[in-house]
Amino acid sequence: MVRVTAIPYLNTTPFVYGLKQKAFNHIDLSFATPAIAAHQLQNNLCDIAIVPVATIPALPWYKIVGNYCIGAVSEVASVLLCSRVPVAHIKEVALDSESRTSVRLAQLLLRDYWHVTPRYVPLHSAALPKNSALQPPVAPPLNSIFQPVEPPSNSILPPVAPPPNSILPPVAPPPNSILPPVAPPQNFILPPVAPPPNSESPESVVLIGDKALLYGTTYPYVYDLATHWIRWTGKPFVFAVWLANKPLPTDFAEIFTNALAYGVSHIDNAIASEVNEAEFPAPFAKTYLTQNISYVLDNDKYEGLKIFLDKIIAF
């Protein structure tokens, strides 16, 4: 049995469903936070894990398994910088230790995109005010204060081919698919403005995964980090990929990849089987999984991944 570690966030629901349906007899499936999944992979406590991409430079050997990821080509809704003040006035940011990738992304954007250098402190989740009712993830308003920032002329990196040890070639994006905006559903209703967070909550905080969906809109200023990465670099963002820490049998790699593909192509079934309706109502989950998360690890995402890894190595 191949030891597989998944992450129990809403965004991995299609992967988990696919693995349970099509690979369960071949794997020993367990769950952990992104940081713990990375630790397990680094210390040979599992064979495959979906891990934050910031883990990659710390691995002595790795192979990307399949051509699926947790990525974004527009607003992701679940990796947020939330604040009681505009970003230009942020003095302190509480960081969620569950994902090194989201922390590094926030630090890069704050320093090099917004040109802000706040103090960083650990996040204590107990201080976060929870949303009274979930609304569909929303795009930033069209009159957002922060307009797109062009990357410096010398920052364009050459196109990147997928790693030579990649099991499957990346899927080419469809023609004219350069970062299309995601339109809200037809019955879209803007949520009411939330009251200010309680005085014990952090002034500013980086929230990831389900915490971002549950707590994010309780702050008056919310910055979707994927949106601002795309404005900065012109490339999609990859948050997590499936990595193996040792060679795997070719037949297993095919079974594993096909299971991921099955889950991504059966999102309605995945929601019905895996999502707690009391926490995330089905319409909310479907909007998030189909409009905010982009699962195919294509050439554009490989390029965005290389840019991010280069930046965090130089950080």
What length is written for the chain?
A: 315
Residues 258-314: tens digit of each pLDDT: 999 999 999 999 999 999 999 999 999 999 999 999 999 999 999 999 999 999 999
The answer to whether residue 145 sits within a structural domain is no
List the helix and strand counts (H, then E) for the chain: 9, 11
Residue 234: left if φ>0, alpha if ψ -120 to 50, beta else—which one? Answer: left
- Residue 157's domain comprises 2-140+151-171+179-314
The answer to whether residue 114 sits within a structural domain is yes
Amino acid 85 reads V
Note the pLDDT of residue 125.
Answer: 59
The answer to whether residue 257 sits within a structural domain is yes
Note the pLDDT of residue 208.
Answer: 93
List 243's β-bridge partners, or say none.
Answer: 49, 64
Which residue do the tokens 């988990």 mark? Answer: 16
- Measured distance CA(42)–CA(205) in Å, rounded: 28
Q: Would the pLDDT of 141 be above 70?
A: no
Residue bearing the bigger pLDDT, 66 or 142? 66
Q: Would the pLDDT of 13 be above 90?
A: yes
Amino acid 220 reads P
- Measured distance CA(245)–CA(60) in Å, rounded: 8
Contact 232, 113 (CB under 8 A): yes
Which of 58-62, 180-184, 246-250 has the weakest average pLDDT?
A: 180-184
Helix intervals (H) in 79-176: 100-108
The answer to whether residue 146 sits within a structural domain is no
Contact 239, 103 (CB under 8 A): no
The answer to whether residue 85 sits within a structural domain is yes
The answer to whether residue 271 sits within a structural domain is yes
For 51, the token pair is: 């891990």
- Measured distance CA(269)–CA(274) in Å, rounded: 8
The answer to whether residue 242 sits within a structural domain is yes
Note the pLDDT of residue 229.
Answer: 98
Contact 22, 45 (CB under 8 A): no
- Measured distance CA(53)–CA(107) in Å, rounded: 15
CATH number of the domain encompassing residue 279 = 3.40.190.10
The answer to whether residue 185 sits within a structural domain is yes
Q: How many CA atoms lie within 13 A of 88 on its CB side?
A: 2
Q: Would the pLDDT of 77 be above 80?
A: yes
Domain total for the chain? Answer: 1
Amino acid 245 reads N
Note the pLDDT of residue 155.
Answer: 36
Q: Would the pLDDT of 86 be above 90?
A: yes
